[in-house]
Amino acid sequence: MTKLTIDTIENILFENKKMILNKTTLDGVEKSFLFLKEFSKNKIIYGVNTGFGPMAQYRIEDEDTIQLQYNLIRSHCTGIGEPLTLDQTKAAIIARLNTLSLGYSGIHPSVLVLMQELVNRDILPVIYQHGSVGASGDLVQLAHLALTLIGEGEVFYKDEIKSTKEVFELENLQPIEVHIREGLSIMNGTSVMTGIGTVNLIKVNQLINLSITLSSMMNEIVQSFDDHYSKPLNEAKQHIGQRYIANKMSEFLNDSKLVKKRADEMYQERNEKIFEEKVQEYYSLRCVPQILGPIYDTWNAAKEVVENEINSASDNPIIDVENQTVHHGGNFHGDYVSLELDKLKLAVTRLSMLSERQLNYLVNPKINNILPPFVNLGTLGFNFGLQAAQFTATSTTAENQTLSTSMYVHSIPNNNDNQDIVSMGTNAATICAKVIDNTFEVLTVQSLAVVQAIEYLQIQDKLSSKGKAFYDSIRKIVPVFKEDEVIYPYLKEVKKYLLKF
């Protein structure tokens, strides 16, 4: 089977690509189903003829095994809080569909067919943020998916929340039928945290590209030297991310008329005792490859782990058709994802801190020496420029710093201590998503400051072609303002633009 990638999921989420299950996949799933159906006769199989969790010690009579699955689904629909976004929900279904398609779950193939229809028709279960401890998988959130699959609960449909029953009737869809362990197979896995993690990764990639853009333009504004992002300097260190960022900055600025070559300015004979221009820029401008580099490397590592998890069997027990047996264990545990998303959250917070410091450089004339306070294009003292907008960026960055406390190390035993150490992976994923959204807001404020600074300095025609393109894009949203205006509508529109960057 072809490995499902983040890029493929991005195309389904944002390019309206459809999911198509092939016959080979469905045949493999049916083979697993038929094996489990036969193998489970006269054997004790967890979740087939036993209770769940600490109640696995109780045997379930044959005539009650189907109802057991419905009981599991309905009893675990205890989610609360805000619903997941539509992108997060769809990504979670895709992730669950992919892991079930591997043929390790003993699930009836009709489940996959209906899940495919939900994705392709944008019929998305209402799944709530709060409920999962990230071990035994995302039981609560995936129970809400299972509830939809049995034709109950609520779904998002054409921008409204409607009953699943009503929508299935409109779309001529039939709920799944429980055969053996469809409830447990749907619920027992890490697919919500990986689904949210996938969306997080897509957005962090955007943030990294945005930060490269804004950092490069910052260097244009101050007419910095070009050697700090040079290939020889950055290849003197072995880190892939640092080299990547430096190369991207070099590509961005290769046709800029503003950045300077040190040999032209500093390696000629000079007799001054004090140099008017800075010999080296502040760290937030000069050390961008060293700061964004580890953020890129962290993103890359998280991408590998999340893709591996999406393409893994995160179920319990595992149906082993090849060896004609069933293995009980803990593949539903979300530690891999939880740790990576905690690290990703830290990295994104750091990115927001870099943006906030670059913003501060622009609004503080005592350190930039070329711009008016708060890049105020009006009358100093009478007008305020971006003075208050900095408050927004600073407070939002501070919130990120607080949210960056690890979930991975905050295991709380529960489930009668059956789940005595848990991953909290879905909390890690949703909090990471909040930090990402906050960071788009910080970069939104910085974007306004950058274009206002360019306006004040009148350097539009000297910018790199990529810098000029970004400047023009923001200017289509935000006109030049000298008089004080209500800025929040501009911030909302710029953020919307950056989210599609």
Catalytically active residues are 46
- Nearest 5°: phi and psi at 40? -75, -10
d(C-alpha 144, C-alpha 74), whole Å:
8
According to DSSP H, which parts of 269-330 are helical?
Answer: 283-286, 288-310
Q: Show Cβ contacts of residue 406 under 8 Å, excluding neighbours closer than 6 positions.
A: 342, 428
Q: Show Cβ contacts of residue 271 under 8 Å, excluding neighbours closer than 6 positions.
A: none
Q: Do the bridges between strand 128-130 and strand 124-125 make them parallel or antiparallel, or are there none, so unpaired?
A: unpaired
Query: H or E element: which one contains 319?
Result: strand 318-320
Query: H or E element: which one contains 154?
Result: strand 154-157
Q: How far apart are the first and last CA of the chain?
A: 32
d(C-alpha 160, C-alpha 170), whole Å:
14
Amino acid identity of 123?
Answer: I
Q: Cβ atoms within 10 A of the Cβ of 185, count?
A: 28
- The three-point CA angle 499-500-501 to 5° equals 95
Radius of gyration, CA atoms only, the chain: 27
Per the CB < 8 A criterion, the answer to whether 484 and 196 are in contact is no
* Cis before 489? omega within 30: no
d(C-alpha 261, C-alpha 263), whole Å:
5
Query: H or E element: which one contains 129?
Result: strand 128-130
- The three-point CA angle 159-161-163 to 5° equals 135
Secondary structure (3-state) at 45: coil
Amino acid identity of 212?
Answer: I
Per the CB < 8 A criterion, the answer to whether 329 and 316 are in contact is yes
Ramachandran region, residue 375 (left: φ > 0; alpha: ψ -120 to 50; beta: rest): left
Question: Which of 463, 174, 218 is CA-nearest to residue 355?
Answer: 218
Question: Which of 68, 95, 54, 98 is CA-nearest to residue 181?
Answer: 68
